[in-house]
Structure 1
Amino acid sequence: MTGVVAYNRELFIGMGTGTPIKFLELDDTGGGSVPSDMTASVFYVMHDSRKAIVTGTAKPGAAIRGQGVDVVADANGKWSAQVSDLKYGANTVSLASYDPSTGAKIASTEVTVTITGNGMVASVFQVLPESGRAIIGGNAKAGAEVKSGSAHTTASGNGDWTLEVSGLKMGSNKVTLTSHDAKTGTQLSSADVTVDLDVAPLTAAATFGETVTEGATFAGVAQPGATVTITGPEGVRATTVADGSGRYSVRVDGPGKPGQIDFTVTQTFSGQTSAPVSVSLDYGRAVAIEGPADGSDVAGGDLDVHGAGLTGSTVRLLDNGEPVATGTVTNGQYTLTASGLDRAEHVLTVEQTGRGNNVTTATVTVNPGKTGSVEQPLEVTSPRIEDGYVSGEATTFTGKASANSTITVTNKWGTSLGGHVTADADGNWSFTRVMTGTSTYNILFTEVTTSGMSNTVEFFGFAAKPAAVKTFQVTSPRVSDGYVSGEKTTFTGKASAGSTITVTNKWGTSLGGDVKANAKGDWSFTRVMSGTSTYNIVFTEKTITGATNTVDFFGFAAKPATVKTFQVTSPQVSDGYVSGEKTTFTGKASAGSTITITNKWGTSLGRDVKANAKGDWSFTRVMTGTSTYNILFAEKTITGATNTVEFFGFAAKPATMKPFQVTSPQVSDGYVSGKATTFTGKSAPHATISVTNKWGTSLGGDVKADAKGDWSFTRVMTGTSTYNIVFTETHNGTETALEFFGFAPQK
């Protein structure tokens, strides 16, 4: 049925096709008073389409509204309207009349329309995506059984029903419902609804972390509460659950393989898994050993293992499964040292940890099938006892021993003269000590081999000898080296101890003050030379005996300043840093350039610095923890040009152990009677230093070194005695003695 029409006081009902059917004739001839109240009655019911024609009276011109009705009463107060979307069973239709001018409600009434038949309607009330369910409701014949799959319910007395359906899939689901006679089971009608199970589309991306030990981070957006699974070539690598906003993030360690690796990411929600999203990561090259060759023979001792890897990765060397060295791949190359190898078989493995915590390994075997080193007698080959030593100068002892054995050096009473040394793979060893005063040393060299055997050599009667006479000379620079205008030039040389050196041009005009040679005959003279002059310099020595010697240093000409390329000169990447201590980077750049320091992602590591007029620059930072830094130094010149230096793989290292020593004063400085003399020195951090004479009598109690290994001891010395002092360091139960003999009053 398509509509109701009133024309010339006649009511027509259109049936969709053909001629409209006239149902009644409207009377407008009067026959009574014009109605002011409102009436309504059911004129005609269309059961199959669940519609009805309702007619009635109201105040003429009043607007009749309700249940989707919006018509106007005619001049006689008569009206008619069609009511749609009625339910099966009884329907109460509420209508009201309104003043057309003011909109005020005039009157209201209700009429009951009963729809009979076997039809049904259905719509989606609620969607439950997390469980793949939906609540569907509608209207059917009262008492009919409503079904969808295995789910079923019974329509109420007015035909209303609701039904929960399950097993819905992601996306659009067509659900068919049928109504059946409750007694016979005969199908009465059917209806289709569409249930949209909306699930957020899956997105995925992966990034590498700041350090190589961090796994790659997979992140994106999924359906809130969905389980996200990351799968690699070897299977499932990680799972996580999207949060309430749908976001997820999870770390995945490397696959242990090099190159481009493909992953898939899926989300599982309501028991269903989405189509995969592909993500690729490039883990770079695997580690390789380029030397030594697999199966090669090596002599033992310190062995460099070198090869190729992924720049910025950390590498670790294992000797027969035990870690012996670590480092960083720089510019695609690395070198690691296995120290003190014997000549037996060694399986050497390099383990590389690259970006995304991706670990690859390479292995070689050296000295295959061999069992160890050959022992040889301990001997001192140089110097000879009769050669003696020069007081205040370093004496180096060299010798032969069994490969990789340990040689300890003491006096004949067992007091250490400076620790121990280790022989190399060929049995060579050396030991250096500065001996002072005029003492005759009785030295004992003791060897302990790798097999535990012990051997000793007595080196008794090693006496002081006079220092060799130095001829007067300029040792640096050479005339041909020239000078850079405006920069300091330092001349160094040799002369007789205590000599005075005068520096003039060839006409005798002084080029600066006189300088003196020290007790070893060393001297230096510094002058800033400018312009382009060629200098003819005369160095004149006057010895303490009054003798004179000269050196002509003619033709010393200006040379161009060396062009500085942008570089980091100190430290080296391999030097590493000590956590919690200042690290100062120095380098060269164009004069006046600005140097910016960041990590490899551009995050600043401190304020910019400027190169001085000579192109020198420095930058200091305290680095903490155990992170490996990938630092980028960027130069911007005063002309706007830019240059960069990658300083990648700068790793933490242990704090350096300080050797035990007296740094001030020197034995030759002597003391002033009655005044305090302060001795300062270096030792292991927090070590205890005791101060005695050579017979063990305390000279004033113990002192402790600070956290940096610095220590000091103060004593007032009187009279004219010559002190033979022994400083003894105690650290972790080990004692190290240092002789400070011949400390006499100043003259």
Structure 2
Amino acid sequence: MSKKRSLSALGATLLAGVTLATMVAPAANAAPASTPAASTSAAQLIKLYSKVGDFQWATGTQQPIGGANNLELTTVTLQADAEKRAALLEVVPREGNFFNLKVVKGSQEECLAAYSPPAAVTYLGQDKCDKTSALWSQPSSGVFRSADGWYLTNQSVVYGSSTRFNMSKDSADAAEFIDANVGESLSATGSFDGDNAQRATIKGTGAANAPITIKNTAGEVVASGTADDNGAFSIPITAPNKGGVYALNVTQTVDGTESAAVKVDLDYGKAVAISTPANNADHTAGEVAMTGTGTPGGTITVFDNAGSTPIGNATVNASGAWALNTSALNAAEHKLEVKQLSKGNNTTTSTITLNPGGTVTPPAPGIGFEVTTPKNDSTIETSDKQVTFTGRGNPGSKVTIMNGARTIGSVASVPASGNWSFTATMNYADYNLTAYNKKVPTGAVTSQQPLHITVIDATAARPFVISTPANNSTVETTDKSVRFSGTGNAGGKVTIMNSSRNIGTADVDQNGQWSFTATMNYADYDLTAYYKKVPAGAVTSQQALKITVTPGQLGFAIGSPATGTTVDKGNISFTGTGKAGSTVTIFLNSSKRGSAITAADGTWTVPVTVNTPGQYDFTVYYKANPTDASAPSVEHSLTVR
């Protein structure tokens, strides 16, 4: 009986491309030698792969083991050639129940054998296949018996780990061990999803839990992943954003060693190209007829203004052609960018310039007619009854301000700056005036505006008044800001106090108006308003002011994205404000795309997904109370690129 010893006769450096079904048991824990024999498939090939090095066939040192038969074993090492193929271990059926374990390498064919050279010591090595020592049978699972009574067995095989073969003349239970690392071959294929926005995928099988690496032809890693417990993997590939075949190499790493590469070609089709118009072509004005080529099924979008404004869309037909008419363009220079989104989320771009260097002078905008001072419904304090009127208008136009049928004043011709003014003498009174503008001084009136003003004596005493907030009122505010306003004598000073704390101070302006805004907590306040007719003088009047400040409700509004703007495809977040607890729902045509309940702080967010570029008209419904039978709606248009 010989001692058990670990040998590398088939090499711990070897990787099997398929499970050694006819030589080893496939389970993690092999059945004992007494289990029923496994059947041997005729002419089944088992590929052995070496991790490193050129192909070598070397017989190692004979190692005496001792024991009853003075067993000596020979180490056999198989290493890879340029194709990473060490050899083929072929199970070749013979007559009766015998078969060969043939090692095939080029024209060299030998079989594993248990044989005795002239020294009468038995070895495990290779010999001619017709020798008795190279004939094996399989009396039980995992056990092989040579024709002259030697046993070659394996103790266990775990996929991805070492399998131990042993050899003994005594019995199948006492033998020398030969270690072999059993792995899985690597396979990989590429595919595309029917949705252009989805990335291509490389799928395949390899060793369980093996790291998978995908590189381009330059050796750069473009994707990676890990095989699952069954050896399967599926890895998305980031598009190269160019046309043609994307050549990739897929490898797996087992026991720290990277395998030979499996080549996978992903054909992304043709990059977008513009056939007409030609680059630097002239364009007078209007739509642009464009044609080109690309990948069938690809979506085409044409952009103007450095890629910010979409002006046309098309789909590449089955023949690989596309055609469209853009929105109308003027005769200035336009740099058009054509983008194609095709299979595998691959984006390619082509550009042309129309009317290079061309410019278009826009017409000068009209200034329009406006009275800037005094404001409508304002009070003018003056000690000499002089009131100055100012405004804006188109140069050369005529301005006239009337009190009924009486002319208050006029400007015969607005100067080139567009600014006009005149001063009129007016009694202390209330006036409902009308301001007229004639674009052509001798022509018809082209614009008119009502103007209500009150002219008062600046030297007359004017009572101190708090207009807002009213006494004993409740002020609702979302940001704790409270506006105080009122009237008094021009030049006077107003101070509002909360006991000894100054809430705010304001000076009365020349129109007798005063105001300021203070930040206040949500609470009840007993305030006192002090008024000084002369700022540096004594207090001439004071008033009690009792108010309650409470949180207000935000009105419904869409904050972003603004209507009429351009956004990127994918997830679009609609945000805005509204009454806490109100509901916001967004529809695209009759399809509900999302909804939300307004938060306690008056804000809401509704995510909407749009994956295809184009013009979209959304409808946003708002219910102040979720139980309301109907909801007002707002139309909201966006361009998705």
Bin of the TM-score, shorter chain as denominator length: 0.3 to 0.5
Which structure is higher in RCO with an 8 Å CA cutoff and minimum separation 6?
A: 2
Greater Rg by CA: 1
Q: TM-score, normalised to structure 1's length?
A: 0.29
Q: TM-score, normalised to structure 2's length?
A: 0.33
